[in-house]
Structure 1
Amino acid sequence: MAQQIELKSTVKVTQLGQRLDQAIAELFTDFSRSRLKEWLLAGKVVVDDEVIMKPRHKVMGGEEITLHAELEDEDRWEPQDLPLDIVYEDDDILVINKPRDFVVHPGAGTPDGTVLNALLFYYPDIAEVPRAGIVHRLDKDTTGLMVVAKTVPAQTRLVRALQKRQITREYEAIATGTMTAGGLVDKPIGRHSTKRTLMAVSPMGKPAVTHYRVAEHFREHTRIRLRLETGRTHQIRVHMSSVQHPLLGDVAYGGRVRIPKGASEHLVSLLRSFDRQALHAVMLKFEHPVTGEPMEFHAPVPDDMVEITEALREDTMLYGSEENN
């Protein structure tokens, strides 16, 4: 049986003149453009109390959009007894610390063995919640915090909070190259024109904003902290690559191995063997979707990133002082 959820949002003044299908794609970012268009054509989108079924309908800004989303249940996904690192749990939500090499949702090439399969086993009632309660995702090899809804009302409110940028997500990363200062990347992201599994900065993409600050300088790398305003696929990885500072280990987006001159064999070995993007969702802050209580969670940086950070720090202390002499 399909699950019914209702989401509301208001068209921004900056969206004046946009087609309705483009406007709802920006407002309801948890869903794909194709799915939103299906709902639009099926009469599931209400604009100021009027059902509109024309994708080319122009919006003026200020209209209230109501989306009557109909999502299939997740019975076709199999529960699997897979370990979950649960940071927090109550009747409405779960907060988990995702390890590397763990896909969040089944898809092409990964039919099972995912966070979703683990959630269905751990809490069978979550099958009644669309996408087994998953509110936002992390890439397969990105580690760190995710919030999961255990009920439909909790999920609806968390998705709405995410759309309104009321959920704070902070990441720790190691970028290649020396960065002098923090900044902001405000560049739209869309599907790569030729590599369909990758994303890219594109004028036809969806708005994407990433804030970053320098936490520590190394000789050929920089430890940074980042905050997301939006949550596009591969957003941090794409944005940092676009400013010529791809993440350490991220070969998909240009993070080639950079060896500091005169580096120790230990550091060289660590840099060459680091086989994932050095990215960790370290902090998550939001209001509880039912009680409204402010909540904040932190996940320690995983061992592989700690080890290489310490090695880079030692290298900088040793050779950095020599370079300054």
Structure 2
Amino acid sequence: MSEHIQLTGTVPASCNGKRLDQTLAELFPDYSRSRLKTWITEGCVVVDEKKVDKPRERVITGMVVEVNAEIVEEQRFAAQPMPLNIVYEDDDILVINKPHGLVVHPGAGTPDGTLLNALLHHFPAIDQVPRAGIIHRLDKDTTGLMVVAKTIPAQTHLVAAMQEREITREYEAVCNGPMTAGGHVDEPIGRHPTKRTHMAVVATGKPAVTHYRVAERFRNHTHLRLRLETGRTHQIRVHMAHLRHPLVGDHTYGGRPRPPQNASPELLEFLRGFRRQALHAARLSLHHPISGEWMSWDAPTPKDFLELLTMLRADRKAHPDE
């Protein structure tokens, strides 16, 4: 399935002498620069009735530009009826509170039963948007808020906002070990040199910045609030492990149970049974991609996370002198 796109515009004075790809980005801001550049190289762009296939071609004021292109669905995935916890929805975006255990996008080992499949059932027209409008992902066992674009213009603006760090994402987490103060981690993240399914702090990685502050201290754990500047794969998990404070339950990055001394049998059992990383996307704030309105949403802390905090508080109370 594909959608035909037909666009027409006149080169304004502000674009006189500029490259064609730069001019198209200004004339048609609802489409990404990479998509527009592809349309040029594929011969989908006509300037003053002459086909132009070089993005660097210069244009002058008054030229008439036409785009005739097809947006082809990248891959057909099945629509599946699945429950969605929708926090907000309008004609342009969806905000979802994702539960733990739900994979965001089909992949190796998870061909269906994902958030993408659920989105296709909830709003079938989203199959015209690349990746069904998914702008950013949460790991399978991370809970919390995600924004999804329902249209290509909304997706283009949200992706740009993400790249410009204009979308605020705040998390809460519980890490192993006592932390005395907040701070930030500014370390590049890339593929682990030997464990190809893992990420790591590596010199050749992409820039990654995580800010954190202490919300509550326990005997051998810390409740944190975190804010992402960038959105690398497993960023919070990798950065906290780099600080030698891996997240509770995150066995991939060293978060095996580390109970405090003389912990109760109940706490020991609870920590052994906490099988996911203690990480929750608690707040999402952004400018609406179409109206420009500043919007913010909060997701309540999930039950298992609250139970973890309750158990750690009980342990602290039982050992007031430590």
TM-score (norm 1): 0.79
Aligned match of 1:292: 292
Deviation at 1:225, TM superposition (A): 0.5
Distance verdict in 2 for CA 1:125–1:171, change over 3 Å: same
Please list, as runs of the form range in 1=range in 2, the aligned pairs for 1:67-82 lying within 5 A after superposition. 72-74=72-74, 76-82=76-82
Q: Secondary structure at the match of 1:322?
A: coil
Deviation at 1:74, TM superposition (A): 4.9
Check whether the contact 1:170–1:281 (CA below 8 A) recurs between aligned residues: yes
The 4+ residue runs of structure 1 with deviation greater than 6 A are none
Output the CA distance in 1 between the equivalents of 2:284 and 2:70: 28
Check whether the contact 1:208–1:231 (CA below 8 A) recurs between aligned residues: yes
Deviation at 1:139, TM superposition (A): 0.3
Aligned match of 1:100: 100
Deviation at 1:75, TM superposition (A): 5.2
Output the CA distance in 2 between the equivalents of 1:71 and 1:267: 54
Aligned match of 1:85: 85
Deviation at 1:50, TM superposition (A): 6.9
Unaligned residue ranges in structure 2 (runs of 5+):
6-31, 43-52, 57-68
Distance verdict in 2 for CA 1:4–1:95, change over 3 Å: farther
Deviates more, 1:175-184 or 1:258-267: 258-267
Aligned match of 1:116: 116
Percentage of identical aligned residues: 63
Distance verdict in 2 for CA 1:317–1:294, change over 3 Å: same
Distance verdict in 2 for CA 1:71–1:131, change over 3 Å: farther
Deviation at 1:108, TM superposition (A): 1.2
Aligned match of 2:46: none
Compare CA radii of gyration and give the structure with the larger one.
Answer: 2
Aligned match of 2:233: 233
State the AA in 2 paired with 1:162: M
Deviation at 1:266, TM superposition (A): 1.5
Output the CA distance in 2 between the equivalents of 1:72 and 1:198: 32
Output the CA distance in 2 between the equivalents of 1:219 and 1:123: 47
Q: Secondary structure at the match of 2:321?
A: helix
- CA RMSD in angstroms comes to 2.3
Q: Secondary structure at the match of 1:255?
A: coil
Aligned match of 2:306: 306
Output the CA distance in 2 between the equivalents of 1:163 and 1:4: 27
Q: Deviations over 1:215-258 (max 9, x none)?
A: 00000000001000000000000000001000000000011110
State the AA in 2 paired with 1:119: L
Deviation at 1:182, TM superposition (A): 0.5
Distance verdict in 2 for CA 1:123–1:175, change over 3 Å: same
Check whether the contact 1:173–1:279 (CA below 8 A) recurs between aligned residues: yes
Please list, as runs of the form range in 1=range in 2, the aligned pairs for 1:231-310 lying within 5 A after superposition. 231-310=231-310
Distance verdict in 2 for CA 1:129–1:102, change over 3 Å: same
State the AA in 2 paired with 1:106: P
Check whether the contact 1:71–1:130 (CA below 8 A) recurs between aligned residues: no
TM-score (norm 2): 0.79
Aligned match of 2:204: 204
Output the CA distance in 2 between the equivalents of 1:4 and 1:163: 27
Distance verdict in 2 for CA 1:3–1:100, change over 3 Å: farther
Aligned match of 2:144: 144
State the AA in 2 paired with 1:181: A
Q: Secondary structure at the match of 2:96?
A: strand
Aligned match of 2:321: 322
Deviates more, 1:256-265 or 1:91-100: 256-265
Q: Deviations over 1:259-299 (max 9, x none)?
A: 11111221111111000000000000001111111100000
Output the CA distance in 2 between the equivalents of 1:84 and 1:287: 23
Deviation at 1:300, TM superposition (A): 0.5
Deviation at 1:95, TM superposition (A): 0.3
Q: Deviations over 1:189-233 (max 9, x none)?
A: 001111111101111111000000000000000000100000000
Output the CA distance in 2 between the equivalents of 1:260 and 1:72: 55
State the AA in 1 paired with 2:321: E
Distance verdict in 2 for CA 1:170–1:70, change over 3 Å: farther
Distance verdict in 2 for CA 1:315–1:287, change over 3 Å: same
Give aligned pairs, total. Answer: 270
Output the CA distance in 2 between the equivalents of 1:170 and 1:293: 19
